[in-house]
């Protein structure tokens, strides 16, 4: 089976529970700062996963993002399964003709999203899952994409565009990964001790139910990956 390409943008924002739930070989690459990144051809991969990061999706200080967006547009056109998470969702939206809205509204912490349309993969999270948010930017819905989930602050929380599923929130989180984030200065910059404590306690409350649902969602994506082979 061809590997799944996982694009990361920060050492602490890896694939988390996504990688083992794929049940497939994984090839992790970080090209965000490269002027001339070398990425595999689409016929070399069975799917693409794009993770989060602190930079803006249109930040020209990180030239590798343009290469990622080109690859994502080509992948959707070629019907290659794609999963975009947080920054990965924003990159996918831009690649497909959506717009980025910088500092649209801050959502950090555990809170529910409203699921507004059926999807065979995203729907495995349930009708109103409580998920971890960690973002300031938002995107518009790309042309011909289907809105899957929303919140008042961030109207586009998840969408489907052909072979691609994109989520603004973080389904990859496991307890150890949350502990890492809460110990990473870049992640908690601007948060008070009380806010950090609240996220930690909410993680203990919500992750036991969220993680199995997230694994089920990734398993649905993995079925699409295996079908490509």
The set of catalytic residues is 86, 170, 172
| Contact indicator for 147, 118 with CB cutoff of 8 Å | no
β-partners of residue 49 are 6, 83
Q: Report how far residue 6's alpha carbon sits from residue 53's, in angstroms, rounded to the nearest whole number.
A: 13
β-partners of residue 131 are 111
Q: Report how far residue 119's alpha carbon sits from residue 113's, in angstroms, rounded to the nearest whole number.
A: 15
**Strand blocks (E) in the chain:** 4-7, 26-29, 47-50, 82-85, 100-101, 107-112, 114-115, 130-135, 138-139, 146-150, 158-161, 164-167
Q: What is the dihedral of CA 9, 11, 17, 22, to 10 degrees?
A: 60
Q: Report how far residue 154's alpha carbon sits from residue 140's, in angstroms, rounded to the nearest whole number.
A: 10
- Provide DSSP, 117-131: S--TTGGGG-SS-EE
Write the CA distances from 58 to 54, 55, 66, 90, integer angstroms.
12, 8, 8, 9
């Amino acid at each position: 089976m061809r590997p799944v390409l996982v694009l990361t943008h920060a050492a602490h924002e890896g694939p988390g529970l996504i990688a083992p739930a794929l049940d497939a070989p994984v090839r992790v690459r970080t090209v965000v700062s490269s002027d001339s990144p070398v990425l595999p051809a689409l016929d070399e991969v069975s799917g693409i996963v794009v993770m989060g990061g602190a930079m803006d999706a249109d930040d020209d200080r990180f030239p590798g993002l343009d290469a990622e967006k080109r690859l994502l547009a080509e992948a959707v056109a070629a019907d290659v399964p794609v999963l975009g998470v947080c920054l990965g969702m924003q990159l996918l939206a831009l690649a497909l003709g959506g717009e980025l809205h910088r500092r649209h509204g801050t959502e950090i912490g555990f809170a529910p999203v409203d699921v507004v349309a059926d999807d065979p993969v995203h729907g495995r999270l349930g009708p109103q899952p409580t998920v971890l948010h960690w973002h300031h930017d938002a995107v518009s819905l790309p042309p011909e994409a289907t809105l899957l989930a929303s919140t008042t602050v961030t109207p586009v929380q998840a969408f489907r565009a052909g072979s691609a599923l994109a989520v603004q929130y973080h389904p990859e989180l496991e307890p150890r990964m949350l502990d890492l984030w809460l110990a990473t200065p870049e992640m908690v910059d601007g948060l008070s001790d009380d806010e950090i404590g609240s996220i930690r306690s909410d993680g203990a409350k919500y992750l036991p139910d969220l993680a199995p649902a997230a694994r089920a969602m990734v398993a649905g994506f993995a079925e699409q990956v295996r079908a490509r082979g």
